Copies of this chain bind each other. A is one copy, B any other.
Amino acid sequence: MFKVRHADWDQRVRESFAQQVMAESLGLRMADCEAGRVVLEMPFNPSFVQQHGFHHAGVTTTGMDSACGYAAMSLMDADAEVLTVEFKSSLLAPAAGELFRYEGRVIRAGRTLLFTEGRAEADGKLIATMSATMMAVRGLA
């Protein structure tokens, strides 16, 4: 569906994700990586619950933001890094479950800005959605 701009997009995405210490701290792992679509997964982690014992909205948002960000990065030039410009999370249902799945998809890819959408599921049930804008930044390193 989308044109990739770089042959090693898959490797770049995986290497960048591997450097996200927060992902490791939460227990997030990359379950799927296509051009323009990334899926992350995370088992329930009792260290990151809110006052009612469910995953904090910040966890759900982190999962969706990371999935959207790497979905965007998969379509970027070889010298570009991804930065999140903004996102909106809608929290449809409590983040209650054993296995959490976060999917990010690009819906429009410009050279500088990429529009993405995220979905979060708990044991297969939709619990949250995201609408996020990602930016390709060059010369960051």
Where the two chains meet, the residues of A that have a C-beta atom closer than 8 Å to any C-beta of B are: 16-17, 19-22, 25, 46-52, 56-59, 61-62, 65-66, 81, 83-93, 107-108, 112-113, 115, 117, 126, 129, 131, 133, 135, 140
Min Cβ gap A107→B in Å is: 7
Residues on B with C-beta less than 8 A from A51 are 16-17, 19-20, 81
Residues on B with C-beta less than 8 A from A17 are 51
B85 and A113 contacting across the interface, CB-CB below 8 Å: yes
A113 and B135 contacting across the interface, CB-CB below 8 Å: yes
**Which residue of chain B lies nearest to A108 when distances are taken between CB atoms in the complex?**
B92
A20 and B90 contacting across the interface, CB-CB below 8 Å: no
Known: A85-B91, A115-B92, A117-B129. A56 touches B22 (CB 8 A): yes
- Select A22's contact among B48, B133, B135, beta carbons within 8 Å: B48
**Highest count of chain B CB atoms <10 Å: which of A25, A59, A85:** A85
A91 to B115, CA, bound (A): 9
B47 and A25 contacting across the interface, CB-CB below 8 Å: yes
A127 to B78, CA, bound (A): 27
B86 and A108 contacting across the interface, CB-CB below 8 Å: no
A52 to B131, CA, bound (A): 23
B58 and A62 contacting across the interface, CB-CB below 8 Å: yes
Residues on B with C-beta less than 8 A from A66 are 58
